[in-house]
Structure 1
Amino acid sequence: MPVRPTVTRQRPWGVAVVAALASVTLLAGACSSSPDSASPPSIATGTAAAAAAAQVSIDGAGSTDFNPKTPITVKVNGGKLTTVTVTNAAKGNAVKGALAADGSTWSSSEPLGYATAYTVVAEATGADGKPVEQKATVKTLTPAAQTYPAVIPAPPSAGLTFGVGQIIGVSFDHAITNRAAAEKALTVTSTPPQQGAWHWIDNKTVHYRPQSYWQAGTTVKLDVNLYGVDLGGGVYGKTDRSVTYQIHDSWIAKADGNTDQMQLLHNGAVVGTMPISLGKDATPTHVGPHVISDKQQQVIMDSCTYGVCPPAPGAYRSTEYWAERISNDGEFVHENPNTVNQQGSSNVSHGCINLSPQNAQAFFNQFGLGDVVEVTNSGGPALPLWDTYGDWELSWADWQAGSAVHN
């Protein structure tokens, strides 16, 4: 019978090799740290990251001593401000302010009041699209006292100008204990620029002058930025002020007690000379630079104003004409027809500078506020610093020493 051949079934070698290689490849991929290997794709969670909510902050929120000169500022993170209102809690009136173009901040734009509570309401929209509202109360500080800064000289009327000796100053109605703070809040700007400094006359009065007389044609601007400034002892500035003074041509009179003549100088050049009579030995005229602080066509001069009243010897009361005040204790340049015979030869007045009627009127017409009268050889003491205006008596070094902040 025929014999059936034996058939052996073999696994195709190609399939086995491929399977083995695939296994090795998977193993290598699982263990490889090669930078060339691709990162596995991220797996989606199916939820988006949450958008941020707006966070609003209000500077001064809850305070009871907020400085009224400091703006109330509202800020937002993670969104934009849409509306901000700041209201005087007692009066109900709104405070002016401005929102930044990008909606990130809002700031008040007008000074606040002392001892006043303000209600702040801020609304914003967050990146999540949801509205947020924030409220707060801001209360400003309460001063023990407020001091008003009167400027020296008083703000001029239109067209009024001043001479090269004019002193600039501020007079307070309360004593100032923090003088440095006061000075730092006072700014004098001269055009053209000239070096100057402050000097405290007393605890309520501070004056400013340049090293030498102002240049003719100078513009002087005084800025008083005292509102919200702690001036010591709980006293704060009541208000800010600003005033501008114009300095005219230089007019300086030089009165000499030896020659009994007074030269008139215009911008440094002598343009006239007048015979004078200064104070007699018992009442000598002060020496040094004097500044005209007032002028009146007619003035009643009364010795009682400085304590010499009738029937005391030397007492007087008389009406004088074309009078210009050069000190606060009764010294004037004025007409005196009774001393014309002594003018140019001897000194017989009570301390004033006497002129003839014609010369007094001419002097009055030319000289005005801030112009200078320098007195020499009168036999009198130096004009006191406090005696409106004795400021020019001091050397520049001594003047600077009277400042609370000068280095």
Structure 2
Amino acid sequence: MQKYKPIGKIGEGTFSDVLKTQSLRDGNYYACKQMKQHFESIEQVNSLREIQALRRLNPHPNILMLHEVVFDRKSGCLALICELMDMNIYELIRGRRKPLSEKKIMNYMYQLCKSLDHMHRNGIFHRDVKPENILIKQDTLKLGDFGSCRSVYSKQPYTEYISTRWYRAPECLLTDGYYSYKMDMWSSGCVFYEITSFHPLFPGSNELDQISKIHDILGTPAKKTLNKFKQSRAMSFDFPFKKGTGLSPHVPNISPKSLSLMYAMIEYDPDQRIGAHQALQHPYFQELRTAEKQAVTMHRKMRLAENIVGQESINLWCISKDGNRQHSLRKTQENPIRHHGPSCGIELPKLNVSGVTKLTSYPSPSFHSVFTEPATNGEVPVLQPIKYIGTNHKSEKQKELKSSMKQYHLPAIERRGGGY
């Protein structure tokens, strides 16, 4: 922990203390969860369900981010360095008088369902969803404290008294540990009610009182439902009949869609209870789903536009490069290198030599092209010698004529833009 400077205590639980700390490396603030239990080896640390779960679930926008695991072998102390949030849901609504807006509640519940959907899809359920474990920072919600989580595929029965009583599902109360990931949805329904009304939905003082308060709202379940919980031997199922008041009298100002989702989340029978993925498709979240789809579509269009602009930039660069090359070729064709002297075959003048009755005529020489084929390797072409075709006999006059002709050298070709 020499890398972190403690600032102050921000929370305390049964198994850990939470401190606000500052990193001495980057100066950022983090939440340090110091475990009260001491550990003997790094293998024991890595086997912790909480660490395994966070490593599997990170990164996700609605799951608390684990930045670092700090373990001191000598003292056996373990600390989890997590991102620092502003507060939890309980702190948000504690002592509050003005209700939260419907839009804010909807946004929080949508993010909570997203975190649960991500967890359940990855084979983990939380088992302790409650306002204290739901963290917020401005408008972002993240689920934290995975110390009680279990694998969806692990063998039942589970620990009987695991979640906080007020948020414990009926199957957790009425069986000896025979429950599933659907318990998280029940707890989320209780949280939904609490952030709407600022009061806990089922604040039982003990297990029997907890069941009684559930029946006061939802009514006594049918025998068919109770028979599913017969695996429990700790409690008699001879409950007095209650019709139940329902939720409406307790939250009269909420919309029918939010009331419908709340009922679906606190369905007594876990087989009939809504799942997290199904909850995200509920009409209550229609507005958020539409906005999310529009944002995704806009993001894709922006990405596509960026790709098109980038491709056009590349194409324009290639066109510009090809244009320079074409311009160079065209200029070479329009302004060929000028030869000083005749560019075609000429007839040599006839010479009148005194004392000679007949002068042997010589045919006009044929001039071959002085350029070779353009070099493919980028080298400057070389000149070919001019060859005269005709008799090998040369008169003195011819020699004089040849010597009087000036010799010219062709200028080198100028290269442009990597071309010529």
Q: TM-score range by the shorter chain?
A: under 0.3
- Structure with the greater relative contact order (CA < 8 A, sep ≥ 6): 1 or 2? 1
- Higher normalized helix content (fraction of residues): 2
Q: TM-score scaled to structure 2, two decimals?
A: 0.18
- Higher normalized strand content (fraction of residues): 1
**Larger radius of gyration between Structure 1 and Structure 2:** 2
Q: TM-score scaled to structure 1, two decimals?
A: 0.19
